[in-house]
């Protein structure tokens, strides 16, 4: 039964993700590296438009697992788009990744320092799932740096049944081969299993330490224009989160995808890219 559940979740979750390995035959942008603190960050930068955008992936995510449709699909005359492997993820290793109870805050701080290192002082954020949480924290704590905010599949607190789901799929051997193999390709089986278990441990510890709260108290401090998107069939992030963010982030917009699941930016890439670009370009 669990394997069937995992197979059903596979196409729609960044936390339980199928990596889309069948890339197009087009030449992929060159990946670069820059030293930020103790880590050499792997990233791509495309376009020469005046509006700068940083893409923040979900749990264990990287450039090509999470943002290929945006890297390839955004208007490069209007936007300069940066996508990164956060410290400890993808090719931004070493060091290895850990998940203390403040790891979302650390991700936000690392993103801020990364963009400073690239000499990009003002930019918008595209954050998916875990990346959306760090994006909200960054927007709240560094308002001078963030022009606009776009988040989807994200939450500011954890519900008990969501924590139970993470526990059920802690063991990667219970994952389907279709889900497991692409992650092993990125990390190797041993490190992938270690990382995933660490992530679940981190979520459990965060839930216990803060009674499920992640960043609720910061939502009121987000002052930049904000666009929240949500797939109404998302099994990983309860529908209450989208309405909660919309209610508590002043002036935010909300777009629902009735048939969408967790990865609406992949399964509905054309509409997603169009809607997001229009929002970013609005004065």
Catalytic residues: 129, 234, 262
Determine contact, residues 275/282, Cβ cutoff 8 Å.
no
What sign results for the dihedral spanned by CA atoms 181, 130, 74, 89?
negative
Could you give phi then psi for residue 147, rounded to 5 degrees? -80, -55
Q: How far apart are CA 28 and CA 182, in angstroms?
A: 18
Q: How far apart are CA 139 and CA 145, in angstroms?
A: 8
Q: How far apart are CA 237 and CA 250, in angstroms?
A: 21
* CA 231 from centroid of its chain's CA atoms: 15
Q: How far apart are CA 235 and CA 169, in angstroms?
A: 13
DSSP 121-149: -SEEEEEETHHHHHHHHHHHH-TTTEEEE
Q: How far is CA 235 from CA 32, 130, 262, in A?
A: 35, 15, 7
Q: How far apart are CA 180 and CA 172, in angstroms?
A: 7
């Amino acid at each position: 039964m669990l394997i069937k559940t995992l197979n059903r979740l596979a196409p729609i979750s960044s936390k339980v993700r199928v990596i889309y390995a069948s890339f197009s035959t087009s030449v992929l942008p060159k990946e670069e590296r820059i030293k930020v603190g103790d880590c050499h960050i792997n990233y791509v930068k495309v376009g020469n438009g005046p509006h700068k955008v940083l893409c923040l992936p979900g749990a264990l995510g990287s450039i090509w697992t999470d943002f290929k449709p945006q890297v390839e699909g955004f208007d490069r005359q209007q936007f300069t788009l940066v996508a990164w492997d956060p410290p400890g993820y993808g090719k931004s290793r070493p060091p290895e990744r850990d998940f203390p109870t403040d790891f979302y805050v650390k991700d936000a701080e690392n993103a801020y320092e990364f963009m400073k290192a690239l000499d990009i002082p003002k930019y918008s954020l595209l954050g998916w799932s875990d990346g959306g949480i760090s994006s909200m924290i960054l927007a709240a704590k560094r308002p001078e740096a963030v022009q606009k905010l776009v988040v989807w599949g994200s939450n500011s607190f954890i519900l008990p049944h969501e924590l139970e789901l993470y526990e059920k799929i802690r063991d990667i051997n219970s994952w389907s081969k279709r889900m497991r193999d692409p992650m092993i390709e990125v990390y190797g089986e041993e490190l992938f299993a270690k990382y995933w278990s660490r992530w679940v441990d981190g979520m459990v510890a965060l839930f216990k330490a803060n009674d499920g709260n992640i960043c609720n108290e910061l939502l009121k401090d987000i002052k930049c224009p904000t666009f929240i998107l949500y797939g109404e069939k998302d099994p990983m992030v309860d529908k209450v989160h989208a309405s909660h963010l919309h209610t508590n982030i002043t002036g935010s917009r909300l777009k629902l995808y009735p048939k969408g699941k967790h990865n609406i930016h992949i399964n509905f890439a054309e509409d997603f890219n169009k809607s997001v670009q229009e929002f970013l370009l609005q004065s």
